[in-house]
A and B are shown apart, each in its own frame.
Chain A
């Protein structure tokens, strides 16, 4: 048993940290592309560069920790699904959430024959995308941006990324296959989201601890006050739990589906709950400064909540775990 990073993964981590320290904003995507990060969700056989759970976890944790947008995650899901379905590579925005339902699929979006009608919401990564990867109750579809009956209404998302609603009216679509047939790709995508969430969790924890060590009240640093110190200790324990949950999923990514799905659901529950806890506690522990848009915590909080929400939140996956349902069916 060895939980250390391999030498290759340590080098990957080092170069990734370097890129993330040097680039942000518009410059980040090309720099990541140079490292081959956009193919991170693909296995080597599919044209990716590693594809192991450990590599996916490490890449996305670093992105989350550095405050990079989660758009690459969303885009990579599309690329991976296309590759698995044997289609040519294309940039697709992942359209999963639907209005009128917490996490059900196929409520506001329906398929008739080879056409889709309905609405998807909170679609990430549509800017510059050639089309959309759309989920229905039990299948994955590809819809081209320029196809008949496709409308996209953009708006900003809470974590400052461009998003929008996708409205389809009898739009022609290509069925890539059953959701259950793409469960491997989707499991990788969940791992990516969870590891990204872990990175954001770590950032929130580090920023809060730093603040408690520096900020003085009544002549003492805040960490010296037991009421705050104990809450910080509890957060430290939950951060370790979240890390272990990500380790469990990355180590079981290629396990038989039932076992993999248990770890997938457990991971999303553990990381989602830790993200919510950190979001609430880190503001409280900071006090008033934590409420301001100017301070770095604001963006972190919104990314924390987004990390829980993407691809089914903690409540959704807890229920499926409890009822021993597959993650994608």
Chain B
């Protein structure tokens, strides 16, 4: 057993650190740390910097313009980026659609769409969930009817993250009502500029509007935008979800949140002493830090097993549950550390009163990160996946 990173991996980490130090604007990092909404230009600017270094698509093979990193390298990049408070790479084009097109898309689709993801020509969003199809995704109803060399799309999608910035959306649509509900679903690429597409923001608990409703009213989509085969979309959707679940443990985000919590607890005064010296609070902090130490190793154990060719099974579900529990506990402790100072809410996810900025960020972060145990397959769904695998033995 060898728990250490190889010299190559350590050098890689140093390289990432040096890049972040040189290229990440401290004002931007501060916005990320305080959970303020980033502008589209800020996110695109960071993508462009990474792309010019060849690091935007760590998960893509080199033949498609990616970095072709190993799972361990991706882990190192995610961890360092999170700890430096770099903007998160918007996942929809890079982490989700890209792998699907590479595996199931036509040559024409690959040649057209993949370079546009890397150079920022397209901003993709995801059209999966519907008001009546959340955890039971296969219950979706948004329909696409074939009409000559077009599909005509009618229906609604929801929870479309950052859809307000997007010009393209990849959708699961119903193309058949025959047979099992998983069998009549297709994977369709839709231009958001097409007449009949309407995007409406949904304001969340923390005042931010990062998600949207998307409405389709007789939207005509070229049949060439169908990925793979009609009615086979469920296969591609499941493949995409396995990619969505990389970095699911969120070790870097949790480590950054723990660093921040410790800093806050040292600065806050409680009974005349730093809060970090209060036995009850210190024990709470220690308990979540200890959980993170173990989870971080669970994550590496599973990455290492995957790198040696052992197929990932229920591990990603385990990491989703434990990773989100840890981050939500950290967020809760950080908010509680501020006590009465954390009562206001920044407007629209942006700056609040200047001197109370950090306390307000703690509240907004706690509120926003309630989503962690809901999205990407709720933690209850993950438990059912684990138990389902155990039942089979």
Are both chains from one complex?
A: yes
A residues in contact (CB < 8 Å) with B: 1-6, 9, 54, 209, 213, 221, 223-224, 226, 229-230, 232-234, 236-237, 240-245, 247-248, 250-251, 262-263, 265-266, 269-270, 318-319, 321-323
Residues in A with CB closer than 8 Å to B293 are: 245, 248, 262-263, 266
A232 touches B390 (CB 8 A): yes
Quick check: is B343 within 8 A (CB to CB) of the other chain?
no
Are A237 and B304 CB-contacts (below 8 A) given A1-B3, A230-B383? no
Residues in B with CB closer than 8 Å to A2 are: 1-2, 304, 308
B residues in contact (CB < 8 Å) with A: 1-6, 9, 72, 279, 282-283, 285-287, 289-291, 293-298, 300-301, 304-305, 308, 314, 317-318, 321-322, 380, 382-384, 386-388, 390-391, 393
Residues in B with CB closer than 8 Å to A323 are: 279, 282
Are A1 and B304 CB-contacts (below 8 A) given A224-B391, A266-B293? yes
CB of B248, distance to nearest CB on chain A (Å)? 13
CB of B381, distance to nearest CB on chain A (Å)? 10
B290 touches A230 (CB 8 A): no
The number of residue pairs between A and B whose CB atoms lie closer than 8 Å in the complex comes to 128
Residues in B with CB closer than 8 Å to A270 are: 290-291, 294
B301 touches A229 (CB 8 A): no
CB of B385, distance to nearest CB on chain A (Å)? 8
Between A and B, 8 residue pairs with Cβ closer than 8 Å are A1-B2, A54-B1, A232-B390, A240-B298, A241-B291, A241-B295, A248-B293, A318-B286
B390 touches A237 (CB 8 A): no
- Taken together as a complex, chains A and B put the C-alpha atoms of A232 and B393 apart, in Å, by 13
B383 touches A322 (CB 8 A): no
Residues in B with CB closer than 8 Å to A213 are: 390-391, 393
B294 touches A248 (CB 8 A): yes
Residues in A with CB closer than 8 Å to B297 are: 244-245, 247-248
Residues in B with CB closer than 8 Å to A319 are: 279, 283, 286
Residues in B with CB closer than 8 Å to A248 are: 3, 293-294, 297
Interface centre among B286, B304, B305 (most CB of A within 10 A): B286
A237 touches B283 (CB 8 A): no
B290 touches A318 (CB 8 A): yes
Residues in A with CB closer than 8 Å to B283 are: 318-319, 322
- Taken together as a complex, chains A and B put the C-alpha atoms of A151 and B72 apart, in Å, by 58
CB of B63, distance to nearest CB on chain A (Å)? 27
Are A234 and B383 CB-contacts (below 8 A) given A54-B1, A270-B290? yes
CB of A175, distance to nearest CB on chain B (Å)? 33
Are A247 and B391 CB-contacts (below 8 A) given A3-B301, A233-B382, A266-B290? no
- Taken together as a complex, chains A and B put the C-alpha atoms of A141 and B295 apart, in Å, by 38
Are A1 and B4 CB-contacts (below 8 A) given A234-B383, A240-B318? yes
The B contact surface, by secondary structure, is helix
Residues in A with CB closer than 8 Å to B6 are: 1
- Taken together as a complex, chains A and B put the C-alpha atoms of A170 and B177 apart, in Å, by 88
Partner of B286, one of A226, A242, A321: A321
- Taken together as a complex, chains A and B put the C-alpha atoms of A6 and B314 apart, in Å, by 25
Are A233 and B72 CB-contacts (below 8 A) given A1-B4, A241-B298, A323-B282? no
Residues in B with CB closer than 8 Å to A223 are: 387, 390-391
- Taken together as a complex, chains A and B put the C-alpha atoms of A221 and B391 apart, in Å, by 9
Residues in B with CB closer than 8 Å to A209 are: 390
Residues in A with CB closer than 8 Å to B318 are: 236-237, 240
CB nearest to A209 among chain B residues:
B390
Are A244 and B391 CB-contacts (below 8 A) given A233-B383, A318-B283, A319-B283? no
- Taken together as a complex, chains A and B put the C-alpha atoms of A247 and B301 apart, in Å, by 9
Residues in B with CB closer than 8 Å to A237 are: 318, 321-322, 386
Residues in A with CB closer than 8 Å to B382 are: 233
- Taken together as a complex, chains A and B put the C-alpha atoms of A213 and B389 apart, in Å, by 11
- Taken together as a complex, chains A and B put the C-alpha atoms of A54 and B2 apart, in Å, by 9
B3 touches A244 (CB 8 A): no
A251 touches B1 (CB 8 A): yes
CB of A329, distance to nearest CB on chain B (Å)? 18
- Taken together as a complex, chains A and B put the C-alpha atoms of A262 and B294 apart, in Å, by 12
Apart from A270-B294, A319-B279, list 17 A-B contacts with CB within 8 A: A1-B2, A1-B5, A1-B9, A2-B1, A2-B2, A3-B300, A3-B304, A230-B384, A240-B318, A241-B322, A243-B301, A247-B3, A248-B3, A248-B293, A266-B289, A266-B290, A318-B287
A3 touches B391 (CB 8 A): no
CB of B28, distance to nearest CB on chain A (Å)? 32
CB of B153, distance to nearest CB on chain A (Å)? 35
B390 touches A269 (CB 8 A): no
CB of B126, distance to nearest CB on chain A (Å)? 26
B384 touches A229 (CB 8 A): yes
CB of A20, distance to nearest CB on chain B (Å)? 21
- Taken together as a complex, chains A and B put the C-alpha atoms of A213 and B6 apart, in Å, by 42
Residues in A with CB closer than 8 Å to B72 are: 1
CB nearest to B285 among chain A residues:
A322
CB nearest to A250 among chain B residues:
B1
Residues in A with CB closer than 8 Å to B387 are: 223, 226, 229-230, 232-233
Residues in B with CB closer than 8 Å to A9 are: 1
- Taken together as a complex, chains A and B put the C-alpha atoms of A224 and B305 apart, in Å, by 29
CB nearest to B277 among chain A residues:
A323
- Taken together as a complex, chains A and B put the C-alpha atoms of A40 and B27 apart, in Å, by 55
CB nearest to A225 among chain B residues:
B387
- Taken together as a complex, chains A and B put the C-alpha atoms of A223 and B301 apart, in Å, by 27
Residues in A with CB closer than 8 Å to B298 are: 240-241, 243-244
Residues in B with CB closer than 8 Å to A3 are: 1, 3, 300-301, 304-305
CB nearest to B317 among chain A residues:
A233
- Taken together as a complex, chains A and B put the C-alpha atoms of A240 and B315 apart, in Å, by 10
- Taken together as a complex, chains A and B put the C-alpha atoms of A226 and B388 apart, in Å, by 10
- Taken together as a complex, chains A and B put the C-alpha atoms of A222 and B129 apart, in Å, by 32
- Taken together as a complex, chains A and B put the C-alpha atoms of A265 and B287 apart, in Å, by 11
